[in-house]
Amino acid sequence: MYIKYYYSNGALYARLQEAKRDERGKKYDIGRCQLGRVLDGAEGIFKSRDRGVFKYSLESGFSDIEDPAVYLTHEYGGGQELILDFGSVYVFLQALKKDGVLDVFKSAMPEKADTLITLVLHNMLTTEASLYAEDFWRTSYARIALPEAKLKSQRLSEFLTELGEEAVFRKFFNTYLGYVVGKSKTSKHGIIVDSAGLQNDSHMDLAALSVHNGVASHEVRLILAVDRNTRYPLYFRCVKGNVLDVNSLAITIADIRQYGIEVDSCILDAGYYCGENIGDLDRLQIPYLLRLRAGNEIYDGLARDHLSGLEVYENRVLYGKRVVFIKRVPVDIQGAKAFAYVAIDLEAQSDERRRIFSKSLKDFKSKEDMDEKLRTSGAFILISKTEASIDEILPLYYSRQAVEQAFDFGKNYANLVPLRIHSEAALRGHLMVSFMATAAIMTIDGLLGKAHPRAKNRKSMNFPQARSCLRQMKCQAYESHITVSEPDRQSNDVLKALKIAYNRQMSTAPMR
């Protein structure tokens, strides 16, 4: 066994090799393992992307370093960065601190707050796995603002497991939902509930085979509740991938109510409709609005009785550029009074009829089957516990886009997927970090959307634009202070919109 050193792209690396001889005495190597960059060859100190800074010897194997920062200096060849990414980390930290949500995040694990907030920022600002969070921290202002972050890859799984514990989960949501109540100034909340499958091929109990839109995959199902008025994420749960939406509603509402949130209305997608759920909502006196799925007995009866003659001017509703014909009909749902809104979307009807007529008659079960599909093309039915006018019902139902936006932010900007986790506890910790990152993104997006700093008639900025604009802001790091580069016009727009100020020369003291 020996260590072989070699150069690659101007940097010195080390490879662990074991030398053996075959039966003829010929020498050959087996068991190769790259150790990474050599920081101190005499002491056996190395640095790699997977392990961070560590010690290795042939006698003792791998071990941790008590103070890795000692070796991350130029004299050891570690290359501590002197020019750091500044803009997005500083500006978003300051905005979240002013809003108050930053302290809420820290309350989950106050003794390890620097690690937690660094992971939240890493999810917001990069698309890389948390494995590379240390590189993000080392090359950005996070290194100065959050100096106590412990981000070695071999420790991150332990941290996420600890974060995902039930006691930490409950502690966080007690504080977080108290913050949401204070933000909205009421404990009564209309909620929007939806779910999404998160593909995960690892062998854990939560991952199960699920078929969605004809595509089968192993996944975990994430359930998310969003406040209808503030559009702010309220709560999440994860369940086994093959659990149907219809079976998860009662527990989700019970969990939210357990934290002191009074649910006073509920908007749902078609997957949540069943007699038991309607009965539970009626018993709890929670008004609901949901879409009926085609093929349901109530749907078929309403379509049969009310689609004919629906397309008249008196039933016309304009929703954006869409023309929709809607008729309100009293209906009995599980022995209680409700209202059905039978509707035809003119554009959807045209698209569906075009697809039907482009097919051959033999593609249908019968001529009658084709005629029925033509008759119901573009149709949909909403069920509401409370009465609303036909002009009010679509804006009310499509407020459920808030939960779709939350999933969009989570998947595209908060590193929710892909899942690279093999432990259920670590998975829950990962989902907590992604939930916090999503809440942070939506907070900043909301602040940016209130007004544009340059002109009243100019379109407001959003989070992805702001993140892109702030990338050019760098800072030069010195021993006792940093010097911030001049912002360009776009960066100034973000600073003004978020009302964030900074000094050209700033102390290297941590942010508290």
pLDDT digits (tens, 9 = 90+) for 36-51: 888 888 788 888 877 7
Residue 328 pLDDT: 97
Q: Which range is least confidently modeled, 9-18, 57-66, 96-105, 466-475?
A: 9-18
Q: Which of 74-83, 185-194, 299-308 has the highest mean pLDDT?
A: 299-308
Instruction: Name the token pair of 390.
Output: 């036909």
d(CA 470, CA 492) in angstroms, rounded, equals: 9
d(CA 420, CA 347) in angstroms, rounded, equals: 41
Alpha helices (H) in 100-212, listed in sequence order: 101-106, 113-125, 133-138, 142-145, 153-163, 166-184
Strands 45-48 and 27-40: antiparallel
Across 134-144, average pLDDT: 91
Instruction: Name the token pair of 499.
Output: 């009302």
Residue 76 pLDDT: 41
For 37, 297, 312, 317, 343, the CA distances from 308, given in Å and listed in that order, are: 75, 18, 10, 17, 11
Residue 415 pLDDT: 86
Across 327-342, average pLDDT: 95
Residue 304 has pLDDT above 70, yes or no: yes
Residue 506 has pLDDT above 80, yes or no: yes
Model confidence at 58, in pLDDT bands (50, 70, 90)?
A: confident
Residue 77 has pLDDT above 50, yes or no: no
Across 350-379, average pLDDT: 92
Residue 455 pLDDT: 46
For the chain, which residues make up each domain, given as ranges?
2-76, 81-153+450-512, 164-286+392-430, 288-385
Residue 193 pLDDT: 95
Residue 30 pLDDT: 65
The strand pairing partners of 209, in sequence order, are 218
Across 224-244, average pLDDT: 90
With b meaning 16 or more CB within 10 Å and e meaning fewer, what string describes 276-291?
A: ebbebbbeeebbbbbb
Residue 46 pLDDT: 86
CATH hierarchy code of domain 164-286+392-430: 3.30.420
Grouping H, G, I as helix, E, B as strand and the rest as coil, residue 38 is strand
Instruction: Name the token pair of 77.
Output: 């060849």
Residue 458 has pLDDT above 60, yes or no: no
Residue 9 pLDDT: 61
Across 430-439, average pLDDT: 95
What is the DSSP code string of 281-326? HHHTT--EEEEPPTT-HHHHHHHHHHSTT--SGGGEEEETTEEEEE
Strands 188-199 and 262-268: parallel
Task: Tell which wins on pLDDT, 339 or 216.
Answer: 339
The strand pairing partners of 85, in sequence order, are 140, 474
Instruction: Tell me how crowded residue 106 is: count the other CB atoms within 10 A of its CB.
Output: 19
What is the DSSP code string of 199-224? E--S--TT-EEEEETTEEEEEEEEEE
d(CA 122, CA 414) in angstroms, rounded, equals: 9
Q: Which range is least confidently modeled, 42-51, 66-75, 355-364?
A: 66-75
- The chain-wide mean pLDDT, for the chain, equals 87
Contact 223, 240 (CB under 8 A): no
With b meaning 16 or more CB within 10 Å and e meaning fewer, what string describes 244-268?
A: ebbebbeebbebbeebebebebbbb
Grouping H, G, I as helix, E, B as strand and the rest as coil, residue 165 is coil
Residue 469 pLDDT: 93
d(CA 316, CA 310) in angstroms, rounded, equals: 9
CA angle 186, 188, 191 (to 5 degrees): 120
Contact 287, 268 (CB under 8 A): no
Sequence-ordered list of residues with C-beta below 8 angstroms from that of 469, at least 6 positions apart, any chain:
87, 461, 488, 490, 491, 493, 494
Residue 184 pLDDT: 82
Residue 73 has pLDDT above 60, yes or no: no
Across 353-382, average pLDDT: 92
Of the chain, the percentage scoring pLDDT greater than 70 comes to 90
Residue 28 pLDDT: 61
Instruction: Name the token pair of 377.
Output: 């093309």
Instruction: Name the token pair of 274.
Output: 């069943």
Helix (H) or strand (E) holding 73: none
Closest CA to 469 of 450, 446, 444: 444
Model confidence at 74, in pLDDT bands (50, 70, 90)?
A: very low
Residue 80 has pLDDT above 90, yes or no: no
Q: Which range is least confidently modeled, 189-198, 209-218, 333-342?
A: 209-218
Sequence-ordered list of residues with C-beta below 8 angstroms from that of 337, at least 6 positions apart, any chain:
330, 331
Residue 453 pLDDT: 47
Model confidence at 460, in pLDDT bands (50, 70, 90)?
A: confident
Of the chain, the percentage scoring pLDDT greater than 90 comes to 56
Q: What is the residue whose two structure tokens read 């053996």?
A: 20
Model confidence at 478, in pLDDT bands (50, 70, 90)?
A: confident
Contact 289, 267 (CB under 8 A): yes
Residue 25 pLDDT: 63
Residue 220 has pLDDT above 70, yes or no: yes
Residue 21 pLDDT: 67
Residue 101 has pLDDT above 70, yes or no: yes
d(CA 492, CA 387) in angstroms, rounded, equals: 48
